[in-house]
Amino acid sequence: MSIESVDVSVTSPGRNFVTLKITTSDGVVGWGDATLNGRELAVASYLSDHIASTLIGRDEDRIEDTWQYLYRGPYWRRGPVTMAAIAAVDMALWDIKAKKAGMPLYQLLGGASRSGVRVYAHASGTDYQALANAITGYQELGFTAVRVQTGVPGLGQIYGVSAAGPGVRYDYEPAKRAADGRAATAPTEETWDTNAYLAHMPGVFDRIRQDFGTDLRILHDGHHRMSPIEAARFAKDIEPYKLFWLEDCTPGEDQTALRLVRQHSTTPLAIGEVFNTVYDYQTLITERLIDYVRSAVTHTGGITAMKKLLDFAAIYGIRSGIHGPTDISPIGMAAALHLDMAIHNFGIQEYMPHNEATLNVFQTSYTLDNGFLHPGDEPGLGVSLDEEAAAGHEYTKAYLPVNRLIDGTVHDW
């Protein structure tokens, strides 16, 4: 048996998703997610123009060999485009292997280490009251962990704060089409002031602890905006509020920046959603500079690579916190959930529900119960693409925003 066809599709049920379909000579179909927010067509081209023909006729069971062939073979290594393409192939091959075995994928990865996957939800609000309402809403749904983001006085729309307002949808979608819903021609721009943010946030955490007590797991995303010393000061200032994690406090490519943060605080640190290989973590893990690995399965070479990365992290007492915003398709989400079920060093899983249009295009079998997700027991990943429904949503160009400081300097978004 061998790989007979490899098809790449791009669909846009409200946002863009790149999906890989691999079909074997005896008709088994595997699905992979290759979505890279705002750069979708680069990965689609990498897959269809450079990878697809090289897979035809290969033995679909040789997952490790195929991974190494795609990683080492082309000479050019790493980077989000390459690693998202490899991830999609890897997910599809694991999907096929598990379907052939007649088992949900987590069984092939070692079986369940837990009965469900604790997830964190996204609570946000332009002001404290709106944020508090969002937190209460999630608690009523059974969530025990929430990421909190809020508006900063003096600044307009900023990262992580839902423009929809409380009571509608608490989540947010930063990749923007044009105002009329058609293709965007350039990113929107936001304004940022780190001083205002650093002055405002500790008081927000203080009120949350007063209003919601000590049990609630509180997470927060700094989205790469602080300098090393600003991050060190901030992590120290918020220590009394005992966050579950502070994410991306500094830009990720500067691994040694976190040495400074560690020297000053015991606030747990998470990083890695823009990383794409284990090498991005080499210093962070071996020097124990982080507590949670934030990579997406979709952007880090798939299940094969993520399993190795998380096993490496486990040796240093570091746990998983796999990236799971809505720019990861339901296929990528399922891949994360199967890993979350099987690994020992699971920490928490990010969860932002996909919209209805997306869930009409992707048939999912994972379930949410009281703040815990379960990947379901269908053979394989348990997610498939309805190709007819997908074809009804044409690719629509969208961009993540660009961030500028109040004096106009381009800053990290």
User: Contact residues for ligand GCO (CB under 6 A)?
Assistant: 37, 174, 221, 223, 273, 325, 327, 350, 400
**How far is Cα 177 from Cα 111, in angstroms, rounded to an integer?**
41
> Which part of the chain contacts Mg ion (CB under 5 A), choosing from 83-91, 184-192, 266-274, 402-410?
266-274
Stretch that binds Mg ion, among 150-158, 184-192, 264-272, 273-281 (CB under 5 A): 273-281
Cβ atoms of residues 3 and 69 within 8 Å? no
Residue 264, Ramachandran bin (φ over 0: left; ψ between -120 and 50: alpha; else beta): alpha
- Nearest approach, Cβ of 223 to ligand GCO (angstroms)? 6
By beta-carbon proximity to ligand GCO, the closer residue of 178 and 400 is 400
Nearer to ligand GCO among residue 221 and residue 378 (C-beta) = 221
C-beta nearest to Mg ion: residue? 221
Taking the least distance from each CB to ligand GCO, the nearer of 52 and 85 is 85
Q: Which stretch binds Mg ion (CB under 5 A): 220-228, 237-245, 254-262, 373-381?
A: 220-228
Task: Kindly report the number of other CB atoms within 10 A of residue 164's CB atom.
Answer: 13
Q: Phi and psi (nearest 5°) for 266?
A: -105, 15
End-to-end CA distance of the chain: give it in Å, rounded.
47
Could you confirm whether 159 is annotated as catalytic? yes
Q: In terms of DSSP bridges, do strands 3-11 and 17-24 run parallel, antiparallel, or are they unpaired?
A: antiparallel
User: How far apart are the C-alpha atoms of 244 and 236, rounded to whole Å?
Assistant: 14
Cβ 61 to ligand GCO, closest distance in Å?
Answer: 33
Q: Which residue's CB comes closest to ligand GCO?
A: 37
Q: How far is the CB of 16 from ligand GCO (least distance, A)?
A: 11
The residue behind tokens 């199967």 is 338
The Cα 270–Cα 355 span in angstroms is 27
Q: Which of 46, 71, 106, 159 is catalytic?
A: 159
Name the one residue in this structure whose structure tokens are 């090289």: 54
Cα distance between residue 220 and residue 244, in whole Å: 8
Q: Which is nearer to Mg ion, 193 or 273 (CB)?
A: 273
Q: CB within 8 A of 157, min separation 6: which ones?
A: 163, 190
From the list ligand GCO, Mg ion, none, partner contacted by residue 350 (C-beta under 5 to 8 A by kind): ligand GCO
Query: Three-state SS for 372?
Result: strand
Instruction: Output the six-digit token pair for 39.
Output: 């750069």
Contact between 77 and 71 (Cβ < 8 Å): yes
- Span of 17-25, 217-225, 260-268, 351-359 interacting with Mg ion by CB under 5 A: 217-225
Sequence letter at residue 366: Y
Name the binder of 151 from Mg ion, ligand GCO, none, CB < 5-8 A by kind: none
CA–CA distances in Å: residue 404 to residues 25, 198, 238, 254: 52, 17, 25, 20
Tell me the closest approach of the beta carbon of residue 409 to ligand GCO, in angstroms. 20
Query: Judged by CB, which is closer to ligand GCO: 19, or 124?
Result: 124
* Closer of 109 and 270 to ligand GCO (Cβ): 270
Residue type present at position 347 = G
CB of 377 to Mg ion, least distance (A): 30
223 is catalytic: yes
Percent of residues in the chain assigned helix, strand, coil, to nearest 5: 40, 20, 40
Q: Considering the complex, what minimum distance in angstroms separates the CB of residue 160 from ligand GCO?
A: 7
With CB under 5 A as the contact rule, the residue among 221, 230, 280, 378 that binds Mg ion is: 221
Q: Closer to ligand GCO by CB, 67 or 172: give it.
A: 172
Q: Give the one entry of ligand GCO, Mg ion, none that residue 37 binds, where binding means its C-beta sits below a cut-off of 5 to 8 angstroms depending on kind.
A: ligand GCO
Listed ranges 167-175, 216-224, 303-311, 379-387: which one lies at the site for Mg ion (CB under 5 A) = 216-224
Least gap, CB of 38 to Mg ion (angstroms): 15
Residue 213 sits at the vertex; the CA angle it makes with 208 and 219, to the nearest 5 degrees, is 55
Q: Which of 122, 220, 223, 323 is catalytic?
A: 223
Q: Catalytic residue positions? A: 159, 223
